[in-house]
């Protein structure tokens, strides 16, 4: 079948995982490997209002991107992507006849007119334009037909079906392609950009080729190993091989596989992508993926909880991420007020006159075991763990605020007494004490539900004046050093420095009324 082209978007879409910091050598080598594979187009990165840095695939000027191209680009051509409100069109130089001949322009449903006008201006500078409307699944048939009418007036080279939220299924693709095929000018190429929320990108790409008109050119996007913002994209290596086997294409797969082994696999070890339940749920409701990411980063919700929160998002909030809005949804979902006066009084009485040791799940619990055990033997403190059950130390109380952690550890008879916050609705049935989630998470700084901070707040509120802590190590950007690997979760590593600073801020008012003594090294030992 004539007219089938491919585009690799690793250096652009994949950059969401590493802030486009691939490293200059890797960038150049990846481009060379893609050229050697005979892929038709390589998307080199973003055009943005940022100064060019050789190690990143973000460019202020088209000429900046020439630094990463070899002298001989063979038959491969190149693109850059621009979002109209992130790149000043006045910085775009006129097309110079070189291999970077196409600019892909994106826009949202709320700025269609601005996006199309931007396309027009790019074309006036001599470039081919690929028009990539974000979240095509968010348009009604009537709305899409109106966009297609306006696209015909501008007449770009490509119009792409962009499944931004990964919610597309086979019947959706057939419907959308039919609308485009029958209403776009016949010389406009139809593109396809897919995401892996539902693990359907490879099958959808095959269906796209199956229904494609013989008279219409098409271009299919993919990336090496599907690299892209979680859950990722169509794997370019799969669709190239499929085209070789079924459409008489002659792509060279070996350089692709080398690039994956040499450059992409190491990135995936540090920043994994791929199918996850949370992102499939965001696709189910055709939501901006940041909603799922926000809830995952909490690290406290099971998939069913994320499902319930995502299902409650209003239609008018779906396509543009609103952090304050989803924070409020999360807070209300978690909060279930109870009268905890009796539980507080009983807990206070149990602690009266006793030394208190809080065990957080940091790796220092194991490294400093001798020191901690010596303190326990000497002082016989009341030992309270925060969101886990220790295999090294016998605890008097297990304090849980996280439903995932609770269900991991509470299976059968427990020697320790269980304390929970009121958001753990099932845990409340078995707990010796249930404490109001709201009272332990909310202050003038907003809502923050780190379990150890919540426990310290509770102890402060019931009049405890001194606490010893162990295992309260602090977060790391690298794989976090927990006493048990099951306690780690990838999402929390991102923004570790910010989280640590926030915890220091929240500890300050606690320290004003309570003496905190650290038995193990911690990022929170000193006030800042």
Q: Following DSSP, what letter does each residue of 116-151 receive, concatenated?
A: HHHHHHHHHTT-EEEEEES-GGGS-HHHHHHHHHHH
Residues 87, 152, single domain; the answer is yes
The set of residues, in sequence order, having a beta carbon less than 8 Å from that of 8 and lying 6+ positions away, is 34, 39, 41, 42, 43, 221, 222, 223, 224, 236
> In a 3-state reduction of DSSP, which class is residue 60?
coil
CA distances from 467 to 443, 516, 519 (A): 21, 5, 10
Q: 361 with 247, same domain?
A: no
Nearest CA-CA partner of 241 in 222, 268, 228: 222
Residues 207 and 297 in one domain: no
Same domain, residue pair 173 and 290: no
Domain-located, residue 14: yes
Task: Pick the closest to residue 387 from 490, 486, 467, 308 (CA basis).
Answer: 486
Q: What is the pLDDT of residue 334?
A: 76
| Structural domain boundaries enclosing 281 | 277-334
Q: Cα–Cα–Cα angle for 276, 281, 282, nearest 5°?
A: 100
Query: Which of 294, 318, 334 is the endpoint of a domain?
Result: 334
As a whole number of angstroms, the distance between CA 343 and CA 465 comes to 19
| Within-domain flag for 17 | yes
Identify whether the C-beta of residue 306 lies closer than 8 Å to the C-beta of residue 281.
yes
DSSP state of 360: -
pLDDT, residue 479, reads 56
Where is the domain boundary, 270, 294, 312? Answer: 270
Distance CA 175, CA 154 (A): 23
Q: Check: CB of residue 504 under 8 Å from CB of residue 498.
A: no
Residue 401 covered by a domain: yes
pLDDT at 141: 96
**How far apart, in whole angstroms, are the C-alpha atoms of residue 446 and residue 289?**
23
Asked if residue 377 and residue 324 are part of one domain, the reply reads: no
Q: Has residue 524 been placed in a domain?
A: no
Same domain, yes or no, for 296 and 362? no
Residue 81 lies in a domain: yes
Residue 526 within any structural domain of the chain: no
244 and 183 in a single domain? The answer is yes
128, 102 Cβ separation under 8 angstroms: yes
Task: From first to last of the 528 residues of the chain, give the pLDDT tens digit.
Answer: 459 999 999 999 999 999 999 999 999 999 999 999 999 999 999 999 999 999 999 999 999 999 999 999 999 999 999 998 899 999 999 999 999 999 999 999 899 999 999 999 999 999 999 999 999 999 999 999 999 999 999 999 999 999 999 999 999 999 999 999 999 999 999 999 999 999 999 999 999 999 999 899 999 999 999 999 889 999 999 999 999 999 999 999 999 999 999 999 999 999 999 998 889 999 999 999 899 989 888 776 778 888 889 999 999 999 889 999 998 898 788 777 788 999 999 999 999 999 999 999 999 999 999 999 999 999 999 999 999 999 899 999 999 998 888 888 776 667 889 999 998 877 667 788 999 988 898 665 556 789 999 999 999 999 999 999 999 999 887 655 655 544 444 444 457 888 888 899 899 999 999 999 999 999 999 876
Q: 210 with 239, same domain?
A: yes
Closest CA to 167 of 194, 205, 140, 203: 194
Residues 321 and 450 in one domain: no
Query: Of 334, 354, 371, which one is at a domain's C-terminal end?
Result: 334
* pLDDT attached to residue 483: 52
> Does residue 239 sit in the same domain as residue 355?
no
CA-nearest of 372, 400, 411, 417 to 487 is 400
Query: CATH no. for residue 195?
Result: 3.20.20.70
The pLDDT score that the predictor gives to residue 285 is: 92
Q: How far is 87 from 106, CA to CA, in rounded Å? A: 11
> Are residues 297 and 382 both part of a single domain?
no
Residue 408 CB burial class (10 angstroms; 0-12, 13-18, ≥19): middle
Q: 233, 245, 246: which is closest to 204 by C-alpha?
A: 233
Task: Give the residue from 325, 319, 322 showing the smallest Cα distance to 107.
Answer: 319
Number of domains, the chain: 3
- What does residue 193 show for φ and ψ, rounded to 5 degrees? -130, 120
Same domain assignment for residues 150 and 292: no
């Amino acid at each position: 079948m004539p007219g089938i082209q491919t585009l690799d978007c690793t250096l652009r879409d994949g950059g969401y995982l590493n802030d486009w910091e691939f490293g200059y050598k890797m960038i150049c080598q990846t481009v060379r490997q893609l050229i050697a594979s005979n892929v038709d187009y390589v998307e080199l990165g973003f055009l943005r209002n940022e100064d060019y840095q050789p190690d990143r695939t973000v460019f202020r000027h088209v000429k900046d991107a020439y630094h990463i191209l070899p002298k001989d680009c063979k038959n491969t051509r190149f693109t850059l992507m621009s979002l109209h409100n992130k790149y000043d069109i006045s910085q775009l130089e006129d097309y110079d006849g070189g291999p970077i001949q196409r600019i892909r322009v994106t826009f949202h449903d709320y700025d269609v007119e601005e996006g199309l006008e931007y396309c027009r201006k790019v074309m006036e500078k001599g470039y081919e334009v690929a028009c990539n409307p974000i979240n095509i699944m968010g348009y009604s048939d009537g709305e899409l037909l109106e966009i297609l009418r306006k696209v015909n007036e501008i007449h770009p080279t490509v119009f792409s079906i962009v499944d931004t939220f990964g919610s597309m299924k086979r019947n959706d693709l057939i419907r959308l392609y039919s609308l485009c095929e029958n209403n776009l000018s016949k010389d406009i190429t139809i593109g396809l950009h897919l995401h892996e929320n539902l693990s359907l990108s490879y099958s959808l790409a095959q269906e796209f080729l199956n229904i494609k008109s013989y008279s219409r050119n098409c271009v299919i996007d993919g990336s090496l190993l599907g690299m892209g913002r979680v859950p990722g994209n169509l794997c370019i290596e799969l669709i190239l091989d499929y085209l070789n086997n079924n459409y008489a294409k002659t792509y060279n797969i070996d350089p692709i596989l080398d690039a994956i082994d040499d450059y992409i696999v190491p990135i995936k070890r540090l920043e994994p992508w791929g199918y996850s339940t949370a992102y499939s749920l965001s696709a189910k409701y055709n939501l901006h993926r940041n909603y799922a990411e926000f809830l995952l980063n909490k690290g406290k919700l099971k998939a069913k909880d994320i499902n319930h929160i995502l299902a409650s998002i209003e239609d008018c909030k779906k396509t543009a991420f609103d952090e304050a809005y989803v924070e409020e949804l999360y807070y209300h979902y978690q909060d279930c007020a109870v009268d905890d006066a009796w539980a507080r009084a009983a807990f206070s009485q149990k602690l009266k006159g006793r030394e208190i040791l809080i065990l957080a799940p940091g790796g220092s619990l194991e490294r400093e075991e001798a020191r901690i055990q010596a303190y326990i033997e000497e002082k016989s403190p009341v030992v309270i763990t925060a969101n886990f059950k220790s295999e090294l130390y016998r605890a008097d109380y297990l304090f849980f605020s996280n439903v995932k952690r609770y269900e991991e550890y509470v299976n059968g008879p427990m020697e320790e007494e269980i304390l929970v916050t009121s958001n753990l609705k099932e845990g409340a049935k078995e707990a010796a004490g249930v404490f109001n989630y709201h009272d332990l998470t909310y202050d003038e700084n907003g809502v923050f539900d780190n379990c150890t901070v919540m426990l310290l707040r509770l102890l402060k509120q019931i009049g405890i004046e001194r606490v010893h802590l162990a295992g309260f190590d602090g977060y790391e950007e690298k794989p976090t050093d927990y006493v048990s690997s099951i306690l780690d979760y990838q999402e929390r590593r991102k923004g570790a420095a910010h989280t640590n600073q926030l915890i220091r801020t929240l500890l300050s008012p606690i320290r004003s009324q309570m003496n905190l003594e650290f038995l193990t090294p911690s990022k929170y030992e000193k006030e800042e």
